[in-house]
Amino acid sequence: MTVRILVVDDHPVVRHGLRTLLGAHPEWEIIDEAADGFEAVDKAGRLKPDVVVLDITMPKMSGLEACRLIRKTVPTAEILIVTQHDSPHMMREALEAGARGYVVKSNASRDLLSAVEAVSQHLPFTALNGQSAESA
Amino acid sequence: MKLRILIADDHEVVRRGLCALLQAREGWEICAEAKDGREAVEKAAQLKPDVVILDVGMPNLNGLAATRQLTQHDPHCKVIVLTITDSDQVIREALDAGARGFVLKSDAARDLVSAVEALQRNRMFFTPRVNDMVLAGFLDRGHNGSNGEPPRLPKLTAREREVIQLLAEGKSSKEVACVLNLSTKTAETHRSNIMRKLGFHSIRDLVVYAVKNNIIQVQVPATFQNPTEGSAA
């Protein structure tokens, strides 16, 4: 099944890295990139991705705020947070904002593909450092 | 002959991005990757890369300390420092450590290839802010006869800086000894010397010092950050 993905991070080098990791899956398509929360909300509204891979700490609008708005405007899009914050508190905030998945950036190579796989099927996926992934 | 590059960053997703950027260039290859400064120093010694790209904020041995070790071992070693901030202090420390290139992580996609090209031609590469600071320091010396630097911190050895980072990351003297391949007694001696030189009485003082001096970097939850500021990668 083709999964259409929007990649959102304020650092181009991280977006490059996410693209490279996600490119390992032949049926997934990176439809676009965004560098801040505003751009993410705008592009999600126009492009209707299946999955938004979303950083939290970004200029102009944080990923949490963008997550809330995208869930309202494009309810079919699932949000996967990929963040440097290895924190249960932050993970709870992200899930409350409507994210379906939460992955710590330092574990992206381990968790990213499984997480996108899960959330694209509307299943939760959360993993902090030192924890095995939890998915339904 | 290919230009061999070693990259070090604790985040694999950043390493993937750096690899994608640099390998797209014909004639360049990533000869090794490292996830902290210690691994970078070890691999550089084994593989003798032409250029080493080091993130500043890495665990175990940060990028500035690793730069210092690399350039002490080989003064011709070409190091590019990747950083999330171009604060005066980080710039000063990077230059002092012997870095020949200085690139902001947020600008890496734009500047990193140019930086590697510059080093390949035996030139240096700095952000405009670093150039301004170097020029201002030079002019200041010319006018005032002083070097314009802030008061010097107590002189610490490279080994003591390594010990500070490990202690500030929460390791015990025994763990420090294990990481640095020292006896516990020697690690404890380093610890006492550091506390004496800096006039500290507790590990808390040491942690504050390490954060203030960019020896370790602390994650600030997004909810406490200025929403207009960018993030660390």
Does ipTM top 0.90? no
Q: How far is CA B203 from CA A70, B161, B216, in A?
A: 45, 14, 14
CB-based contact B141:B148 (threshold 8 Å):
yes
> Are residues B105 and A16, on separate chains, in Cβ contact within 8 Å?
no
Q: How far is CA B191 from CA A43, A132, B155, B167, in A?
A: 53, 36, 14, 8
Determine the pLDDT at residue A83: 92
Q: Which residue of A has its CA nearest to B58?
A: A106
Domain boundaries in chain A?
3-131
Mean pLDDT of B153-157: 72
Q: Give the nearest partner residue to A20 out of B11, B20, B229, using CB atoms.
A: B20
User: Which residue positions in chain A have pLDDT lower than 50?
Assistant: 136
Domain at B3-140: CATH code? 3.40.50.2300
Domain B158-212 fold: Arc Repressor Mutant, subunit A (1.10.10)
> Are residues A17 and B12, on separate chains, in Cβ contact within 8 Å?
yes
Contacting residues for B205 by C-beta, under 8 A, at least 6 apart: B198
Residue B221 has pLDDT above 80, yes or no: no
Which tens digits make up the pLDDT trace of B49-98?
A: 999 999 998 988 999 999 999 998 888 889 999 988 777 778 888 888 88
Residue B129 has pLDDT above 80, yes or no: no
Residue B150 has pLDDT above 60, yes or no: no
Domain boundaries in chain B?
3-140, 158-212
Determine the pLDDT at residue B229: 39
Contacting residues for A123 by C-beta, under 8 A, at least 6 apart: A100, A135, A136
Query: A3-131, which class in CATH?
Result: alpha beta
The residues of B whose Cβ lies within 8 A of any Cβ of A are 10-21, 105-106, 108-110, 112, 219, 221-223, 225, 227-233
Which tens digits make up the pLDDT trace of B186-208?
A: 999 999 899 888 888 888 888 88
When pLDDT is cut at 50, 70 and 90, the band that residue B141 belongs to is low
**Looking at the whole model, is its pTM more than 0.80?**
no
